[in-house]
């Protein structure tokens, strides 16, 4: 599903990506983007993400929601 189909605003959305191309696509939607690199993409430039974390266990969903509120 897309943000449009879900009828939510992009700035009410957090997208999780693991590559520069995914981050670029996420940012084009105007949504927040959290990068979680994998062993291959951890050496790539993920700096366009709003936040880079090592694992889903680094932050709770509530923490992320507060960060981007």
Helices (H), the chain: 3-6, 20-28, 61-67
**Residue 4's pLDDT is what?**
79
**pLDDT tens, position by position, 4-58:** 788 888 888 999 999 999 999 999 989 999 999 999 999 999 999 999 999 989 9
Give all domains of the chain, ordered by start, each with its CATH number.
Answer: 8-67 (3.40.50.1000)
What pTM did the predictor assign?
Answer: 0.87
For residue 52, CA distances in Å to 15, 16, 35 come to 12, 10, 5
1 pLDDT higher than 80: no
**Residue 9's pLDDT is what?**
87
**Residue 50's pLDDT is what?**
97
């Amino acid at each position: 599903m897309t943000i449009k189909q879900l009828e939510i605003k992009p700035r009410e959305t957090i997208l999780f990506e693991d590559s520069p191309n995914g981050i670029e696509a996420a940012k084009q939607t105007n949504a927040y983007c959290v990068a979680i690199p994998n062993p291959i993409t951890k050496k790539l430039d993920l700096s366009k993400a709003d936040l880079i974390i090592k694992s889903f266990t680094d932050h709770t969903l509530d923490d992320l929601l507060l960060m981007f509120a």
